[in-house]
A and B are shown apart, each in its own frame.
Chain A
Amino acid sequence: MLSGVLAQPNSKCDKIWKSVEWVYMGFTEEFDVAVVGAGHAGCEAAMAAARMGLKTALITMNLDLIAQMSCNPAIGGIAKGHLVREVDALGGVMGVVADAVGIQFRLLNTSRGPAVWSPRAQCDKAQYRVKMREVLEGQRNLHIKQAEVTDLVLEEVGRDQGSEIRGRVAEDARLVVPTLSAQNAERMGHPADSVEGPGTGEAGTRDQGSGTSEQKRIRKVLGLKLRDGRRLMARATVITTGTFLNGLIHCGEERYPAGRSGEPASVLLGEALRRLGLRTCRLKTGTPPRLDGRTIRWEAFAEQPGDADPTPFSFRTTKIVQPQVSCHIAYTTPRTLEIIRENVGRSAMYSGQIEGVGPRYCPSIEDKIVKFPDKTQHQFFLEPEGLNTHEVYVNGMSTSLPMEVQAEIVRSIPGLEDAEMLRPGYAIEYDAVDATELDRALKVKCMEGLYLAGQINGTSGYEEAACQGLMAGINAALWVKGEAPFTLDRTEGYTGILIDDLISKGTNEPYRMFTSRAEFRLHLRIDNADRRLTAYGRKLGLVDDATWAAYERKQERMAALEKLLKTKKANAIEGPGINHPSRDQGPANGGQGSKIRDQATEDGGLVVPTLSAESAERMGHPVSLVELVKANPGATWAVLLKRPEVTIDRVLPALVNELRSDPLLVDYALISLQHRTSLSHLDDKERHPDIGHPDSILKTEDAVARSVARNEAKAVETEIKFAGYLEQQKKAIEKLKAAEGVRIPEWLDYSVISGLSREMQEKLGRVRPETIGQASRIPGVTPAALGLVHVSIRIQGEKRARGPEVVVA
């Protein structure tokens, strides 16, 4: 990144040169950062750059389709919810927008530990677009433009032979540019026929760049050409074209070029990017048919309601405003499978018409039936696309069968006999760039000022796109400001894992995040996304004062609770109503319970109804807390919490007096006492305890506060209960950090390291890992090879320092 620093405009003089430069180059407008594409990646990128104070252009082919949810009407899900939280913690917008338009919230995986809890929300698709546009339009420095980008304006600045050389050439080039003749300037705008040079003109097909990057030219993106003739100058460009690059839609035997259903593909820009000579691959994804909800017999399906205490994505969200609706669960019938089997040969997937590789985690319905012939039934979901539409998304039925077969499939399901299809499902093939062409800042390695984010990098999913958009936007802005790039490693977040996976390994199917990709899963939780990332966001200028203050308060609250649990000796008589008589304890203990209650009351405690023996049994708590406390004299609550049967919701009620300053937790304690069995399905009307306490009890109409309190308490519990496991992971984290600390210099020449096999040289040369840690994650690179590389860093380094030759083994 040294070259970046050297090439920055950092004085008034530079600015003057710049303006001379752009007039010469025929630019009509000037921006610091240009973002191409206004999908989930583009919106985050543009917002980040603008909020970091830079003049930013967001260019979209259709203003009305900003932040279009082109596939399912939901944000989040397992591991994806983690990504949204991280985007939010860093100061991104996806979480806030999704919360504002969410119509069904569910916290997934609550039967497991909080590390894998993940929020998901059905969103009103139309409102999502509207809300995002509102956010974008409200942002200073952000200029939204409807236009089609057709080309990049490039300038050659040198060859990638080490940062010193690169830096020097870049600097020279800046001085030279203003003196270019008008003719030359014109040629700059036509990289295809002149700047690329005769030797490589049209050779920029896929895999052209398979040589080591030492030989690659370094070029710089100066701006963009629009179809309407305008030329935008941009110091940095972020490209987020989704499936629009040479998009090709397949629906049965039919196929036609498109970016999404009903939208044109970006063919010209696709060609321009192809000419850059980056390695590309062809990917495929698909969507299911959409139905008219009025033609669905809803009573035929099992209802899946949302949580009564919705967990929002954003740490900033305090209220869920939209009315909440349900999804419905449906199943295929034997007839469905029959229809699919009969017609599978007509599916674009199976007729050989599609060459792109589709995601295995999101197979088409025909795929499921062919690959799992023994499975007699497949589940799918009927999901509302919004509050003001009857459109229903059939999640789980992605297909590229002909339209009439899709209709037949739909009608084979009881309840959908009369269902009308509003849009058919389709498969789309598109170009993606091999992400090993990128560095950790999502910058194209052989280009200056060019960043890629989202599906163009081979990922799938709104959330995967958003986190990349945010990182690319931040880094484009930092580059323009002349600051060092901002990167995250695998120990800091799913975002870091996603980028590291992509740039180290590339992908051969659309890449989706899974929690199993995270080796430090226990530490990368939704509850601590802010602890992991908000300080970075603050430093970058993306976290405002109010959010920062709220963040600090939350950390204090959690620390206080942890301290309380760790220092306070457990005392069964401390709080009210914590006695849970077990079924075989008999009436004697019931008596003890009431005695405790009385005492608590005398102590000024709260009177809370104790649980009946029956409900205690139902909850599977055979051991009473009172007995546990007796059996462990002098133990703190933290010590008791380490026992599997002791959970935070059992402990908190005993601490209501101590927790007075934290009304949220007190409220949670009392509620959990009453409704421990149905935590996630509380209903305000049912939950009603006559628990009046002058200052400690909130009137919890606010379900969000309730979920926040629960999630915080659970997080503290996890840190205490599973300290051993967390510690184990911490050691692994240190190990990885150490490996990440060993940087591999750009000048390292793999081709002369004796003992490295050709295959290994080729792999390392292509990815050019930044650290020994990253190198270790390139498939097939052995520990011994890493040892060689590590030693060679010093050997080559000393020889460089000693002799005149640039690189010697």
Chain B
Amino acid sequence: MSDPLLNNSAASAAVDTIAAVSTPPGRGGIGIVRLSGPESTTIAEQLVRLRGPLEHARARFAEVLDPTADEDDTQSRIDEAVVTFFAAPNSYTAEDLVEIASHGSPVVLDLLLRQALTLGARLAEPGEFTQRAFIAGKIDLTQAEAVRDLIDAQTLAQARLAASQMGGALSARVMPSKHALLELIALLEAGIDFAEDDVSVAPEREIQRRIGAIRPPLTELEATFTHGRVLHDGLTLAIVGRPNAGKSSVFNALVERDRAIVTAIPGTTRDTVSERIALGGIPLELVDTAGLREAVDEAERLGIVRSRQALADAAIVLVVIDASEIGPAGHLHEEDRTILNSLEGRSALIAWNKCDLLDPDTEDTLAAGIESSEPALLAHVDLPVIPTSAVTGQGIAELREAILKLATGGAAAEPGMLTSLRHHRAVTQAIEGLDAASAAATNNIPHEMVLLDLYRALWALDSLTGQTTPDDVLNLIFSTFCIGK
């Protein structure tokens, strides 16, 4: 058995529901997640909390909820969205089509897309919406030729990708699991198709043992996604803190040039300033922000709104605290405390800045105090604290190291990591298939059904390594078992 149509965009137009972020990557004014296919509305309804039923060509307000929060938790609302539904055939693709426009935060868009995939949508191939529109006769021949060229280019890209995957590290890493899975499938298939021969029926224990051996490498692989994705896509680090804490100085020190204007006047930075650097091979977008405080004028107020947005979007937050301001017996400023409180559960670190301004004795005390007097100074803050001086360059190397550690989760780069959502989806689907098969075997479900779950896992891995055909299964059966009469 095989499902060559599993990811066949051309052939399955009428059946699959596809999803993608249809606005350019990065933060825009708004970001749109688009769904097309028969289950678009069902998925959308579960994806967001709609205020009012979906109607053709009508926009509806909706709330994007944190899927991990409780149903009734009012705090679980993470964004607002406008949802527009176009009923088949009066849509771009001639299928049911739903567009969810949110405030453009990449974090929210990513969350929506991943949720949509979990709810049964398939990640759209590049250009697939247009392809569907074309096949449905919605666009003209000139556009159609553009589509053909697009697929053509895709073909080349896929061929290159496939070639690199086939011999690539990811494929090499998945292959042993896939082969072990194929062997289990062959064992069960042989038991069914050659029951007349003396092929013994695989006992449940054996099935569980084999699944147990196939699964761990896959879960390990799955876990590399966090890191792998960072390696691939990079991440954003927002530098926040009170005015004049030295954020821009730290920013400049990290980008190694005077990118942001630095003055002694609090509130110099009005707008966010960003710059890409590579840190240990990871693309890192550094965002310098306006200091957070009660704004003194309109321009600063707007700057602070942007700072808060940057803080919300960033994968890592670097809080810069002016150590010199606090003094030997001092305590954290109220605004610092507020910032730190808002970071609970997030990936963040503290630059204990302007250390050069402390007299050596105090510095020592403070440095020690970070640990000893923690309850007083940084109560309940469980974040790495790096003493720095943007002026002398003290601690900047340590700061880079600490950022890198947060970015990679402490893991070192390894060959064959998962770097794309598509690959990650394939591995999680494989694991889901294995788990379902294991549960089915436990319940003594007949093998031909356990096999459905195993094939689901196999096809998912196929997308990383190349297709398995029914003949491959038969070949394995014939080379493994002495069959035939």
Contacts and interface: CB of A to CB of B under 8 A. Distances in A.
Interface string B180-209: 000000000100111111100100000000
A738 B444 CA distance: 34
B448 A112 contact: yes
A764 B117 CA distance: 33
A772 B482 contact: no
A322 to B, nearest CB: 21
Contact of B452 (A361, A729, A777): A729
Contact of A791 (B16, B147, B449, B483): B147
Contacts of A372: 482
A739 B195 contact: no
Contact of A784 (B151, B470, B473): B151
B470 A378 contact: no
Nearest to A798: B141
B145 to A, nearest CB: 7
16 contacts: A109-B195, A379-B485, A516-B1, A516-B192, A516-B474, A519-B1, A732-B3, A736-B5, A742-B11, A754-B152, A755-B148, A776-B5, A779-B469, A790-B11, A790-B135, A791-B10
Contacts of A776: 4-5, 8, 11
B445 to A, nearest CB: 7
B447 A112 contact: yes
A633 interface: no
Interface in B7-25: 7-16
Nearest to A77: B196
B2 interface: yes
A380 B471 CA distance: 26
Contact of B449 (A398, A722, A754, A772): A722
A407 to B, nearest CB: 20
A790 B136 CA distance: 11
Contacts of A79: 193
Contacts of A734: 15
A116 B452 contact: no
B391 interface: no
Which of B158, B469, B473, B484: most chain A CB closer than 10 A? B484
Contacts of A557: none
Contacts of B134: 791, 794
B155 interface: yes
A791 B155 CA distance: 13
B289 interface: no
Interface residues on A, range: 35 or more
Interface of A: 77-79, 108-109, 111-113, 115-116, 120, 359-363, 368, 371-372, 375, 378-381, 395-396, 398, 514-519, 521-522, 644, 722, 725, 728-729, 731-732, 734-736, 738-739, 741-742, 754-755, 772-773, 776-777, 779, 782-792, 794-795, 798
A518 B3 CA distance: 11
A769 to B, nearest CB: 11
Interface string B441-482: 001111111001000000000000000011101100010001
A787 B9 contact: yes
B154 interface: yes
Contacts of B11: 735, 738-739, 742, 772-773, 776, 783, 786, 790
A738 B148 contact: no
B344 to A, nearest CB: 41
Nearest to B483: A361
B484 A794 contact: no
A363 B482 CA distance: 9
Contacts of B483: 360-361, 363
Given A111-B201, A729-B452, A788-B148, A368 B484 contact: yes
Nearest to A115: B448
A26 to B, nearest CB: 47
A795 B196 contact: no
Nearest to A788: B151
Given A78-B192, A78-B196, A521-B1, A791 B135 contact: yes
B4 A777 contact: yes
Contacts of A789: 10
B196 A108 contact: yes
Contacts of A514: 189, 193, 474
A269 B8 CA distance: 44
B41 interface: no
Which of B135, B141, B196: most chain A CB closer than 10 A? B196
Contacts of A116: 192, 446, 448
B131 interface: yes
Given A361-B483, A739-B8, A789-B10, A519 B3 contact: yes
A475 to B, nearest CB: 26
A109 B3 contact: no
A360 B192 contact: no
A644 B478 contact: no
Nearest to A644: B443
Contact of A518 (B1, B7, B141): B1
B40 to A, nearest CB: 16
A13 to B, nearest CB: 42
Contacts of B478: 360-361
A79 B145 CA distance: 46
B452 A522 contact: yes
B144 interface: yes
Nearest to A739: B11
Nearest to B155: A784
A522 B449 CA distance: 8
A113 B445 CA distance: 8
| Smallest CB-CB A-B distances: 7 pairs | A113-B446, A755-B152, A739-B11, A396-B485, A787-B10, A790-B10, A784-B155
Contacts of B145: 795
Nearest to A718: B446
Nearest to A729: B452
Contacts of B151: 755, 784, 787-788, 791
Interface in B48-62: none
Contacts of A786: 8, 10-11
Contacts of B443: 644
Contact of B9 (A120, A378, A783): A783
Given A395-B485, A787-B10, A791-B151, 18 more contacts: A78-B194, A116-B192, A361-B478, A363-B483, A368-B482, A398-B485, A516-B193, A516-B474, A518-B1, A729-B452, A732-B3, A735-B15, A738-B11, A786-B11, A787-B131, A787-B154, A790-B11, A791-B144
B121 to A, nearest CB: 14
A741 B471 CA distance: 25
B192 A784 contact: no
Contacts of A725: 445, 449, 452
A776 B4 CA distance: 7
A461 to B, nearest CB: 13
A205 to B, nearest CB: 28
Which of B9, B141, B474, B485: most chain A CB closer than 10 A? B485
B484 A361 contact: yes
Nearest to B7: A783
Nearest to A397: B485
A359 B474 CA distance: 12
A770 to B, nearest CB: 13
Contact of B144 (A735, A782, A795): A795
B149 to A, nearest CB: 8
Which of A735, A736, A787: most chain B CB closer than 10 A? A787
B474 to A, nearest CB: 7
Contacts of A742: 11
Contacts of B194: 78, 361
A731 B37 CA distance: 14
B5 A784 contact: no
A755 B8 CA distance: 17
A729 B449 CA distance: 10
A782 B148 contact: no
A109 B192 contact: yes
A729 B456 CA distance: 11
Interface in B328-380: none
